[in-house]
Structure 1
């Protein structure tokens, strides 16, 4: 059942992240022209990236509502609901009319579906993490956590491969008129597969133990408990993940725009570079989770955070060398070490909260970081690049500061590797 749980969580979440990643790629490339053509190019790009952020902005609301329901009613039911909502919203995106067809209604519908998509993912991400980690044995929690960490880069690989294949096989006009819609429509079939897999997974042992302990979980108020008793933990974990969240979206969303618009790299080459970088990210997530079982969550996270700080300082100078090989190497290292930390995040967050508030506390921390820095990072990066006349050093300062904050939060945290998940603050 543990293997089935991690398979269901990993595959289902990867499929949902595929839709989310797909949106990020097209938002940085073709959506400015299709949905915001009345604006000048920089403003259109900012508006398109703002629609990307709208989905991340909706995640905390999804995290709060789904977190409370997940702590009251269990993890399994919420996972089936969120994957269904995500699939429906992504499918409808593939059917949207453009600005030329319906005017302002087009971007309004786009943003509305993006918000629904973000709401569903806000509850999905943490629920899938808990489904896998709570099923895992104590000695292999980090490894299972690393498997969950591959979901986002794996989805980026699939999204970029799909768009790369379409962009190379279709003419530019065909790709802009209907080619970009194909992955959105096809993803609905993949989501059905995710639903089928999750229906085969039972409720987690930790939640079953909580119900048997006599704790009245259905009448509990997990959000109130988190805000009154565990707010320091939520704040610390949120500030920690602000660094990896910002760096991840800087690389996978803004970098594509920077490469194609500022450095003149063809879109197909940009998609290829992101695919290779995400392969490195898959390896990084697995390594981070595995290493956290061996040397502890804290020490492994400190290693990852230090390495991303180094990458942050050398990233743009290497991109500006116009060398495909060097660009490939630095993007792979940067994204790999960023995802190294994301591979540890699920288990570290789960071990930081008791069973009856674990879903709510973890979801608030995870989605809060993405709201504060993950979603806004591409917008901030474009604005800073424009304000400083094409110089990326202001972006480096912002990202480096967030990385240092993240490092500080890790350094001041306790080790959680030996924490028992079947625990309650009530009993």
Structure 2
């Protein structure tokens, strides 16, 4: 290698191209498996949990009860974000990412072996809620670690693109989770799937423990954290979570407000539509699952493409484009879904997933740039996970809206209102520092 080549590959923070790529791929793997674990619960809630854990309820009440346990995980996510964010800013991004992966692996595997209501009575739904909270707690801490591992080691001018690897874990995890359910429900007889086949996706999450060991042994701590750690040693000792709440409450609220439309719409288009398509439209489980899988495959292309675009034109501009398009598309999307025809449902969901991904891709870099390194894990996690409570309620709210109004257009209005809130928040968002040359504007 020539001297010029060596200089070209040397960065002031000491991160090599190989380390940056490894960090991005690790973020992708960690997020994919973590979200796989989190999403298979929602799929199982829509398909089988009502009869296994809430058998005495009516069909609608059973589904609402199952979705309520889904929401329990979302309530736990901000708590995980607070705790993991605090220690992620104090002892390191890598250590907390390892802890989140291990916790999720254990919690999800236990769901795969737990007894049903018919076996242990009311203790079964209680245990289900506890394990769902463990899942929520883990994913609440995981996202900040994976996102910062990717963005804080990214090459100059590519933070949006590298941060998108953590975001890609959502569609990859969802495709993997729904794919496993699709295979299991297609290969097994209906009686076998409802009896024990639904457990298989949960048992496969044992691989999380192996990934946690890999991250612990192979991943380097980020240079931004090392610099913040040195700075902290020479200053007063403060709690990162309390510090970011005290000094940047507006940034946390703006981050949450901008993310509401992404989080809620996503769960409407995944968990909510799965229930709506099978129960209200009379479509088969495999048909609706296939439509959801195809729509999420589109995200794998759109997320990195528009994240890279945000490195050129700015995070807020890219995000605003997605908000306008999704808020507008919400109405034709449900008109297409309501036809009950597979091609029309696919078209509606692919459009929704595409416009949602325009926002979700650059969101990692946008949130990272809103907070200084000393409190970044805490601030970004709070901004992301506070919204999770509303997102977790979205499928249940969708059921209620349609039951009350007798039309899916009420859900379209809900999405459009959230898109307007996102645009308002984007107008007021500013990056935390001009010293990091990334286009947050």
TM-score (norm. length: structure 1): 0.95
State the 1:39 CA deviation.
Answer: 0.7
Matched residue, 2:202: 184
Q: Does 1:361 align with 2:357?
A: no
Residue of 402, 405, 428 corresponding to 1:385: 402
Describe how 1:9-408 pairs up with structure 2 within 5 A.
9-213=27-231, 215=233, 219-371=237-389, 373-389=390-406, 391-408=407-424
State the 1:214 CA deviation.
Answer: 5.2
State the 1:215 CA deviation.
Answer: 4.0
Provide the rounded CA distance (Å) in 1 between the counterparts of 2:333 and 2:150.
34
Provide the rounded CA distance (Å) in 2 between the counterparts of 1:152 and 1:278.
9
SS at match of 1:344: helix
State the 1:421 CA deviation.
Answer: 8.3
- Compared CA separation, residues 250 and 278, structure 1 to 2 (3 A): same
Residue of 384, 401, 413 corresponding to 2:429: 413
- Compared CA separation, residues 417 and 226, structure 1 to 2 (3 A): closer
RMSD: 1.7
Provide the rounded CA distance (Å) in 1 between the counterparts of 2:42 and 2:234.
41
State the 1:287 CA deviation.
Answer: 1.7
Q: Cα deviations across residues 146-192 of structure 1 (Å, max 9, x unaligned)?
A: 22221111111001110111111111110011101011101212542
Provide the rounded CA distance (Å) in 1 between the counterparts of 2:33 and 2:378.
23
Report how many aligned residue pairs link the two structures.
420
- Compared CA separation, residues 166 and 420, structure 1 to 2 (3 A): same
Contact 1:11 1:194 in 2 (8 A): no
Which range moves more in the overlay, 87-96 or 214-223? 214-223
Provide the rounded CA distance (Å) in 1 between the counterparts of 2:319 and 2:213.
33
Provide the rounded CA distance (Å) in 1 between the counterparts of 2:437 and 2:206.
34
Provide the rounded CA distance (Å) in 2 between the counterparts of 1:149 and 1:155.
10
Contact 2:31 2:167 in 1 (8 A): no
State the 1:8 CA deviation.
Answer: 1.0
SS at match of 1:404: helix
Q: Cα deviations across residues 116-166 of structure 1 (Å, max 9, x unaligned)?
A: 111111111111101110011221101012222211111110011101111
Contact 1:13 1:125 in 2 (8 A): yes
- Compared CA separation, residues 155 and 217, structure 1 to 2 (3 A): farther
Contact 1:60 1:364 in 2 (8 A): yes
State the 1:67 CA deviation.
Answer: 0.6
Contact 1:297 1:415 in 2 (8 A): no
- Compared CA separation, residues 417 and 231, structure 1 to 2 (3 A): closer
Provide the rounded CA distance (Å) in 2 between the counterparts of 1:348 and 1:419.
15
SS at match of 2:218: coil
- Compared CA separation, residues 4 and 198, structure 1 to 2 (3 A): farther
- Compared CA separation, residues 167 and 409, structure 1 to 2 (3 A): same
Matched residue, 2:3: none
Contact 1:72 1:220 in 2 (8 A): no
SS at match of 1:353: coil
Which range moves more in the overlay, 182-191 or 263-272? 182-191
Which range moves more in the overlay, 203-212 or 42-51? 203-212
State the 1:313 CA deviation.
Answer: 1.7
Which range moves more in the overlay, 270-279 or 335-344? 335-344
